[in-house]
Amino acid sequence: MSNVFKFFKGLKAFLSSEERQTRLFWYMLKNHLTESELVFGTYEREKTLQVDLEVAENTTLKFEYIVHRSRFFLVCRFLKYEAPEDASEIFILAQHMNNLIGHDGTLRIETDDQICSLVFNVDFRPILFGYSGIRELILRHHSITVDARNAFLRLMLEGEEPAIIIADLMREESDNEDDADKN
């Protein structure tokens, strides 16, 4: 398909009603997961998809993709924790991680249920227009979930200090950027 045709197709979708945009994005999301050959559960009325993705060897987590109005939510509850004596370390690590994640995502600590989760809340309309892709968002959400889960496991199981964990994550991110610049 030519770039001009894609542009006008995206423009038409972008200028459509919110209801039509939601239906179109929902179709695009299901189509993407099907083409990726992922097994997923579909909840049509709630516009929610659930897929189990591997986050470590022999460990999968449930990832939820929710379409609501003009928003695309990517949610993963990645760790149930026992409140340690000093729960402030969990909140310190979460705050530092949120600073690294950026504007699309939020690492949440659900104190009532003692669950750590990562939530992306993204306007899907630029995706309709062709500025970014569903695949990239899903991969980024998955990658950050894996990093967050590993960071919290280091904190809770190994007793590592949040500052050390964040420094390691920042160094890894810098190394990855350097590698990308070389390619």
Distance CA 34, CA 133 (A): 15
pLDDT of residue 124: 93
Delimit the domains of the chain by residue range: 3-182
41-94, pLDDT tens digit by residue? 999 999 999 999 999 999 999 999 999 989 999 999 999 988 666 678 999 999
pTM: 0.86
The matching CATH number, chosen from 3.10.100.10, 3.30.1460.10, 1.10.357.10, 3.40.50.720, for 3-182 is: 3.30.1460.10
pLDDT recorded at residue 66: 98
SS3 for 137? helix
Cβ neighbours of 152 (radius 10 Å) = 23
Residue 16 is classified by DSSP as S
β pairing state of 105-110 and 115-123? antiparallel
Residues near 42 by beta carbon (within 8 Å), at least 6 away in sequence:
30, 48, 49
Which residues contact residue 168 at a Cβ distance below 8 angstroms, ignoring those fewer than 6 apart?
none
In the numeric block, the tokens 């949440």 are attached to 108
Q: Give CA–CA dist 119/1, Å, rounded.
A: 34
